Amino acid sequence: MATRERIVTELTSMAVLYQQALTVEALKVLSELWEEQFNLTPDADFVAACKLARAKERFFPAPAAVFQALEELRSSRAQSTLALPEHARGPEEERRFSINAAMARIAFRDERAKEYFTCREEAKKGEIARKWLGENYRERDEERPRQRGPVHVGELCGVRQ
């Protein structure tokens, strides 16, 4: 929750930055109103949103501007977590994905390869994929080791090697 102390601190810094003269009474009323608005927002998120709003707004920001900044921060965090290693496919998922992608490319050219996607048994699917992919079929023991440390997003997607 955004605490009253944090809200007062942010309002005071904005008043100084935007050269707004706030009386003690006005600061008290503003802090109460903002506390009602941001009572479910964590302090760290509130501070980051205020910082972003200060960077964007030409005049003293209204709570709506801080809410908009908060939404921008949350959506950018959600997008940035997709490329983290814990969201990457595991070795078995990667193997199945590459086989499915290769079979889909073949099925677009040849109707007979579509039987792979209608088959429900994994063993039968493996036989069909081996038949169509030949030497390009990846067996389980041929897995490449999972990379640790900084990884380029393109490498996770298979675009950049």
Cβ neighbours of 30 (radius 10 Å): 19
Q: Are the C-beta atoms of residues 132 and 116 closer than 8 Å to each other? A: yes
Q: Which of 159, 139, 143, 150 lies closest to 90 in space, CA to CA?
A: 143
11 Cβ partners below 8 Å, 6+ apart? Answer: 22, 27, 30, 31, 34
- pLDDT of 149 > 80? The answer is no
- pLDDT of 143 > 50? The answer is no
- pLDDT of 110 > 60? The answer is yes
State pTM to two decimals: 0.50
Residue 83 has a pLDDT of: 55
pLDDT in tens, 49-84: 999 999 999 999 999 999 999 999 888 876 665 555
Mean pLDDT (the chain, rounded): 80
pLDDT in tens, 80-102: 655 556 666 677 777 787 888 88
Structure confidence at residue 2 as a pLDDT band (50, 70, 90): confident
